[in-house]
Each structure stands twice: as structure tokens, then as C-alpha cells.
Amino acid sequence: MSKFTIRVRRHEFNITCDKEEEDIMHAAAQLVEDKIDNIRAKSRVSDGERAAVMAALLIAFEAQKPSANSYNDSKLIGEMTQRIEDALNRTNGPLQGRAI
């Protein structure tokens, strides 16, 4: 486990996570900072807490949207599944109706 402090705006947060996740946590903190900066630059939001909540909502919204990568991953999984089924059918015949 790794213990460290990250800073978002003028607030410090003590974090404990697996060592291999430390860089991800730092990147997440930077993402929050960037979103807050972007919101403040493009809107009339001057309240830091309000900008932070809006940034959190924006990040959560973006995480919920299907991405091109998830589509590509699903497509790739479908293609791989079909190839495996084809290979099994060529080797052992169709699996339908057979006891496994």
C-alpha cells in the first residue's frame, strides 16, 4: 500500500491505495483540476465548490457514455467468440445438443 497526499485546488487529501494505482490517482486529481479550470473559464461560475461539483458531474457523465473503445472492445470480443465457435465446430462438430 502507498500513502501520499494529493492536492485539488487548495485542499489536500491523504490517500491510501495500492502502489500501482498511485499514478492513476494523481492523474485523476489532475483531471479534476483541469475540469474545474475549464468550467471556470467557459462559464460565470466563480464559486470553487460549485465548480468542483459541476466538474464531478461532468466526469461522471462522461464515464457513463459508451466510448468508441467500448464499442471496439465489444466488436472484438464478438469476432473472437465467433472464431472460437467456428474452430470448435470444425474440430468437434456443433456443440448444440451435446452434453458438456
Domain residue ranges of the chain, discontinuous segments joined by +: 2-65, 67-100
Least confident residue range of 23-27, 59-63, 72-76, 88-92? 88-92
Identify the H or E element spanning 15. strand 11-17
Burial track 58-92 (b if 16+ CB lie within 10 A, e otherwise)? eeeeeeeeeeeeeeeeeeeeeeeeeeeeeeeeeee
User: pTM of the prediction?
Assistant: 0.62
pLDDT at 98 (0 to 100)? 43
CB 46 within 8 A of CB 40: yes
CB atoms under 10 Å from CB of 43, counted, come to 11
